[in-house]
Amino acid sequence: MKIVTDFSVTSRPLRIGAGFDPRSLFGPGVMGVYWSSAHVSAVFSDTGGGTPAPFGGSVARVNDQGPNGLDAVQPSAALRPLLGRAPVTAQPSGPIDQGSGPAFLRFDLSDDVLPTTFPTGGTFDVMVFGRRGSWIARDVSIASAGNFNIGPTSFTGAVAGVLPALGDIVGWLAVDRTLSAAEATRLVNHHKALGAKGLLFPGPQLLSNSTFGTDLNDWANASSAGGSIAWNAAGYLDLVNATGTSRANASAAVVAGHAYVVSVTVSDGGGATSASLFNQSNNNESLTPITSAGTVRVIVIPSGDTLTLSARNFTTGTTVSLDEVSIRELRPEEDW
């Protein structure tokens, strides 16, 4: 599965013409799904689609508004999001039904999930639009009879942990083709009118020694007996584990409640299957395993004013080489 998160839509929003309809992006035979809160009449409290969902109530079915009729259905009552509404200016964390304004779906970020089964597979561009921000995932591979899922904390093809950063969801679109930058911008603008925010983009690097160019700087060796960390001449940070657990820790000042994208790039050295990344400032919260060479990403929303990463090598007799570790704040484009 090739999954690429695209931060390349950086131009200022284009003005969309009156009458723009996201359904116009589906050509003949193009697989995919589309729904936005402009189509709240397509949201139901029963799986059969016979009872419209009330505001504040759970959602069992969302009918596809694209040409393919691929409806999202959640048979389990315990796994259903809620239908809400609020003015565009209302806080995303506010009451589920504020009496007016655009509709949205609120996931509990624990186990709520809306699945849509695609009868045929493909490679999709996927966009999900939320009241805190929007996200695009490029080249998302979905197999024949596979599911496109939204929830519990991400959506198919996106970075782990993205859903809390997006907030209440006001729409989504997946198409089996490449969206142009102009099309993506028009989609963002269309959903902004429904209460969404723009695409989330990363800010400056918050670690002073993220690429290990000359030394370890702000990285601390927190290894147990037999483990160590070291900078090597190739510009990597080596987690060397002889007989214990090798740990490298680094901290960055953050703003509680804001979203941050954390990424780790692993060199082609051996031993990567034994490592993991933790948020030590949140009771050693497990963020992501480091399973192979390449880059892994996860989105974190800290509860305090410090984010402490801990990269750990658990397997005795191995060395994991980190090429880059990054912490960057994410904000909607218009908020930078």
Tokens for 85, please give them: 């509404």
pLDDT beneath 50, residues of the chain: 1-18, 271
pTM surpassing 0.95? Answer: no
Give the pLDDT confidence score for residue 48 in this predicted structure: 97
What integer pLDDT is reported at residue 268 of this predicted model? 60
Please report the pLDDT score of residue 72 as a whole number: 98
Maximum Cα interatomic distance, the chain, rounded to a whole number of Å = 66
What is the rounded distance in angstroms from the CA atom of residue 183 to the CA atom of residue 191?
12
Q: What is the pLDDT at residue 11?
A: 33
Q: What pLDDT was estimated at residue 222?
A: 63
pLDDT given for residue 5 in this prediction: 39
pLDDT confidence of residue 223: 66
- Give the domains, in start order, of the chain with CATH numbers: 4-198 (no CATH), 204-335 (2.60.120.260)
Do residues 59 and 45 touch, judged by C-beta distance below 8 A? yes
- pLDDT value at position 232? 81
Non-local CB neighbours of 37 within 8 Å, separated by 6+ positions: 102, 103, 104, 105, 170, 171, 194, 195
